[in-house]
Amino acid sequence: MRDFFTVSFLLQLLTACGGTLAFAVLFKVRAKHLLFAGLCGALTYILYYTVAFFGGSLFSAAFISTAAAAVFSECCARLRRAPAPVFLVPGTIPIVPGSDLYYTMRYLLSGNFADFTQYLIRAVLVGLGIGGGIVTVSLIFGLIFNPRHQAKHV
């Protein structure tokens, strides 16, 4: 457990928060929502790192962390009276598989198909985990809070 909270992890967490805030500003998120967007990015990265640290797969780490970010975003959306993507889109930036996509293209263009396949699979697994987490939570919140699906009292 002592290897979990390292200086490297804290530096990565700080970088994840900074990147989330930078993308939130780039996406023109209002200043009053920036703190919550940054917290969403921190939550996402902490959960992704935790699941991966304790042996979870790339898909499960991405799915769990994104599902938690989606729940956080839906709650913030209701409390802050803003659309959920204001918090969710910047909040998922820390786990987007950018380096995996870069190496996928690099190895494809250089003809190294073994490494190309390895990085492609990694990128697809993380992408599916992100998409699956968002869709699952959105469907659940839609069923719970959509008045058309609630029982009518006579």
Write the single-letter amino acid at 116: F
| pTM of the complete model | 0.88
The confidence band for 30, taking pLDDT boundaries of 50, 70 and 90, is very high
**Segments making up each domain of the chain, as ranges:** 7-149
pLDDT of res. 144: 86
Tell how far CA 10 is from the center of its chain.
18
pLDDT of res. 152: 58
CB under 8 Å to 112, separation ≥6 — which residues?
Answer: none
Residue-averaged pLDDT of the chain: 92
